[in-house]
């Protein structure tokens, strides 16, 4: 009898995977690896809080509104505290910017080499109804000198400067998906062992798909070009799939193929999603998986932020679907230019 069959391998843990990848870079000093571990630790704690939210009094509205003008849920506040605390205690981050906070958060770690932009809990409206929610993060190297507090210049870099980005999805299983610019890997949380295990190595997103994800409840406020693209999707027989949690919609389309859209509307002419906390991170991930992300005209990661809480339209997912959407949006800008020249 093969005794190995009595105790099959459990797989590669996130910690071991990070350590092995660090060994691929002879000049790596370990700070980024530790930072990723700090994020994973906070994600485990937040996962625990989410799973017991119906049993203790941490569900529902907190009673405040965040800087975006959105009503904060109690778990929004808890997740924000957990991630900030983990990043501060880890010592690798000099400054944090969070979707939940108006100003930069100085950690006191003036020797820290990194800046983190984070949406601690995406999909707040779904928290109380047991629908998948998530965390989104971006990591940048600081550009200011170490030994001082982080600056606005450190925080407002273009997405092309990201050294790592990822998300955690809290759903039927909890997964952490991240990239450091060498492909995308996904890890599933095994709660009985308290570890993330590699479950989705080298994720490659399909070049095309048959799913479009957009809030059609806002269709009366879409531009003609946007309405035209949605009509095109229907004519092609695409399926509409919209969860209302960005991480959940993005994750499905990343694995299965499809496009997620949050366009500019009459109500939100600059778009609604945040460039620094949501769009840049997911754009980095999708490009590393072979997909594409833009605001309808320009590559998302090349957009220049002017403020910590800038918003932008988002067209993200399978390359062919995003490029077709850009064709429709290009007509809008051509028509607007012709009208201006009359």
Q: Which residues are annotated as a binding site for substrate?
A: 122-125, 215, 242, 272
Strands 259-262 and 314-317: antiparallel
Binding residues for Mg(2+): 99, 119, 121-122, 278
Closest CA to 123 of 210, 238, 250, 32: 250
Do residues 298 and 271 touch, judged by C-beta distance below 8 A?
A: no
What DSSP string runs through 228-252? HHHHHHHHTTPEE---S-HHHHHHH
Rounded CA separation 290/292 (Å) = 7
Say whether 259 sits in a helix, a strand or coil.
Answer: strand
Rounded CA separation 237/215 (Å) = 18
Element (H, E) at 38: helix 31-51
Do residues 12 and 66 touch, judged by C-beta distance below 8 A?
A: no
Say whether 134 sits in a helix, a strand or coil.
Answer: strand
Binding residues: 99, 119, 121-125, 215, 242, 272, 278
């Amino acid at each position: 009898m093969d005794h190995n069959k009595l105790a099959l391998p459990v797989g590669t843990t996130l910690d071991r995977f990070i350590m092995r990848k660090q060994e691929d870079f002879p000049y790596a000093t370990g700070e980024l690896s530790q930072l990723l571990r700090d994020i994973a630790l906070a994600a485990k704690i937040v996962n625990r809080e989410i799973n017991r939210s119906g049993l203790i009094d941490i569900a529902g509205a907190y009673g405040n509104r965040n800087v975006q003008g959105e009503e904060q849920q109690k778990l929004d506040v808890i997740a924000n505290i957990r991630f900030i605390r983990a990043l501060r205690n880890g010592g690798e981050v000099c400054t944090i910017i969070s979707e939940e906070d108006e100003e930069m958060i100085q950690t006191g770690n003036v020797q820290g080499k990194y800046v983190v932009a984070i949406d601690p809990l995406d999909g707040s409206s779904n928290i109380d109804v047991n629908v998948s929610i998530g965390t989104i993060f971006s990591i940048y190297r600081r550009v200011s000198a170490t030994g001082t507090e982080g600056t606005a210049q450190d925080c407002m870099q273009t997405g092309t400067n990201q050294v790592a980005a990822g998300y955690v999805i809290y759903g039927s299983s909890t997964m952490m998906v991240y990239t450091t610019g060498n492909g995308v890997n996904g890890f599933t949380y095994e709660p009985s062992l308290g570890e993330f295990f590699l479950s989705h190595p080298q994720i490659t997103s399909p070049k095309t798909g048959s799913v479009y994800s957009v809030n059609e409840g806002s269709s009366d406020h879409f531009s003609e070009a946007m309405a035209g693209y949605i009509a095109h999707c229907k004519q092609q027989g695409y399926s509409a799939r919209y969860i209302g949690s960005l991480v959940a919609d993005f994750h499905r389309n990343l694995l299965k193929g499809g496009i997620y859209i949050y366009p500019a509307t009459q109500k939100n002419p600059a778009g609604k999603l945040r460039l620094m906390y949501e769009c840049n991170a997911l754009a980095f991930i999708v490009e590393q998986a072979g997909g594409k992300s833009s605001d309808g005209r320009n590559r998302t990661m090349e957009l220049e932020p002017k403020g910590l809480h800038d918003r932008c339209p988002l067209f993200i997912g399978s390359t062919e679907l995003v490029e077709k959407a850009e064709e429709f949006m290009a007509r809008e800008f051509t028509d607007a230019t012709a009208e201006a020249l009359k």
